[in-house]
Amino acid sequence: LTSGLESAWNKLKGVDVLTKENIAEPMREIRRALLEADVSLPVVRRFIQEVSEQAVGVGLIRGVRPDQQLVKIVHDELVKLMGGEVSDLVFAKSGTTVILLAGLQGVGKTTVCAKLALYLKKLGKSCMLVAGDIYRPAAIDQLSILGEQVGVPVYKEGTDVKPSEIAKRGVEEAKKKNIDVVIVDTAGRLQIDKTMMDELKEVKRTVNPTEALLVVDAMTGQEAAALVTTFNVEIGITGAILTKLDGDSRGGAALSVREVSGKPIKLVGRGERMEDLEPFYPDRMAGRILGMGDVLTFVEKAQEVMHQEDAEDLQKKIMSAKFDFNDFLKQTRAVAKMGSMTRVIGMIPGMGKVTPAQIREAEKSLKITESMIDAMTPEEREKPEMLAESPVRRKRVAQDSGKTEQQVSQLVAQLFQMRVRMKNLLGVMEGGSIPALNN
Ligand code: GDP
Ligand code: MG
């Protein structure tokens, strides 16, 4: 976004609470910036309304100023507008996945075929391309060259064969060869016309694709969103690929497609090289649209604070539950599950940041821990002291869970260590001690 916004934002810096009045100017600036980025008007209106509703009444929360929180609200709404999460490609449950690419002429379909094949190859999938654009002999050659460049076979026939026939035989060939993914290139026109739509419908009916993706040029701004809508209504698509993001500094297409068409952007092309295709990450795009470095720092700071609040909740829970084996199990399960959320693990007192290798290790030891805790009586779980005091009980747990007595003793010791560590960290109670296990 632009400098007008920045100055509007600066005026907000001293306020104690966000009101309808004091956010009016920043909202006007956001509105202007979005319209300049060629986001469609209804989308802009809804966006501004949503942000305003959330913002009014927001005050200082834990050291994060209201203006900083407004940035976070804008950021989060941008992410939501673009669909929130990454929308992954869908693969056939078994057999060959068929991906059909459609789109106007020159948007980058043929290039995307090869880029996508390379992308999927890196995911360990075998690919094949089908040259379904028969209108220019050069199009078939172009696909062949690109296919060779990324090391993927290309199925082609002459220019006098119907595209649906070529697509049909190409897909059959891929299935026969047990290829994981076959990508069908099609012809585009400069404008939407009935011949193109009819041809696409026929190809789609013939190959029954797992993914029918519309390739759109990001530089066309809100026109891209309208195209996705039209193609979806006409032939039915599963998502869009936004190309030439490297040439679009404004982000209008990225912002509008999902909201206007209801279809997700699955991948983006951001350059002419074969490697320049990647999943569409709404949060990164929101960051890019907000642009300003200091704005992003605000957002991160605000998020950090939210996480701190979560962590404090967690700590309170741990304290009030006195941290028995039930909590221990919940905790261990949570840690094991959080594979993708390493930052959350950073919040668990005394655990610090955790590496992926450590997470895998945690998953393995979770199974062992679970089996031992399963073998405890409910009373033992709530009063770990019972186990600390009684070797007979520990022996029974070991036998019932098929683990060694040493493993059970370790688990019991671990629980008490965690208790102490948490209490110390929280400074709620002084000291505390780890009982020596009676033998
Ligand atoms: P098609 O007519 O839809 O098949 O489009 P092509 O695949 O032939 O691409 C048209 C032009 O756009 C080519 O010159 C490509 O190199 C270029 N192109 C495709 N994708 C991108 C991209 O993400 N960024 C840039 N800068 N150029 C692209
Ligand atoms: Mg082409």
Same domain (yes/no): 58, 145 = no
CATH number at residue 76: 1.20.120.140
CB-CB contact of 243 with 265 (8 Å): no
Which of 109, 111, 186, 191 to probe ligand 1 with, by most ligand atoms within 8 A of CB? 111
For residues 256 and 397, membership in a common domain is answered with no
Question: What is the predicted pLDDT for the residue at 319?
Answer: 59
Reduced to 3 states (helix: H, G, I; strand: E, B; else coil), residue 264 is: coil
Strands 97-102 and 211-217: what pairing? parallel
> Which two three-digit tokens encode residue 194?
């009935």
pLDDT number for residue 21: 93
Q: Is the CB of 105 under 6 A from ligand 1?
A: yes
Q: What is the CATH number of the domain that holds 415?
A: 1.10.260.30
Q: Are residues 105 and 241 in the same domain?
A: yes
Check if 247 has its Cβ closer than 6 Å to any atom of ligand 1: yes
pLDDT winner (highest mean) among 57-61, 192-196, 201-205: 201-205
What domain count does the chain have?
Answer: 3
Residue 109 Cβ contacting ligand 1 at under 6 Å: yes
Which has more pLDDT, 289 or 41?
41
Q: Is residue 310 part of a domain?
A: no
What ligand has the least distance to the C-alpha of 113?
1
Max mean pLDDT among 62-71, 211-220, 250-259 falls in 211-220
Residues 401-414 pLDDT 10s: 999 999 999 999 88
Return the CATH number at 166: 3.40.50.300
d(Cα 96, Cα 91) in Å, to the nearest integer?
8
C-alpha 329/C-alpha 331 separation (Å) is 5
Reported ipTM: the value is 0.99
268 domain-assigned: yes
> CA 56 to CA 78: how far, in whole Å?
18
pLDDT tens, position by position, 311-367:
565 566 555 546 788 877 876 665 555 443 333 333 333 344 445 666 667 667 788
Lowest mean pLDDT among 5-19, 108-122, 200-214: 5-19
Q: What per-residue confidence (pLDDT) applies to 198?
A: 93
Indicate whether 121 and 49 sit together in one domain: no
pTM metric for this prediction:
0.69
Check pocket membership of 272 for ligand 1, CB cut-off 6 A.
Answer: yes
Which atom of ligand 1 sits closest to the CA of residue 185? Answer: 4
- Phi first, then psi: what are they for 59, rounded to 5°? -115, -160
CB-count exposure of residue 111 (10 Å: 0-12, 13-18, 19+): buried
Residues 273 and 348 in one domain: no
**Residue bearing the bigger pLDDT, 42 or 432:** 42
Provide the 8-state DSSP code for 339.
G
Do 124 and 269 lie in one domain? The reply is yes
**Do both 48 and 165 map to the same domain?**
no
Q: Establish if 286 belongs to a structural domain.
A: no
**Whether residues 347 and 216 fall in one domain:** no
Indicate whether 273 belongs to any domain. yes
AA letter at 231: F
Q: Which residues pair with 9 in a beta bridge?
A: none
- Tell how far the Cα of 225 is from the centroid of ligand 1, in angstroms: 19
Name the closest ligand to CA 243. Answer: 1
Q: Cβ(238) to ligand 1 under 6 A? A: no
Domain that holds residue 401: 322-426
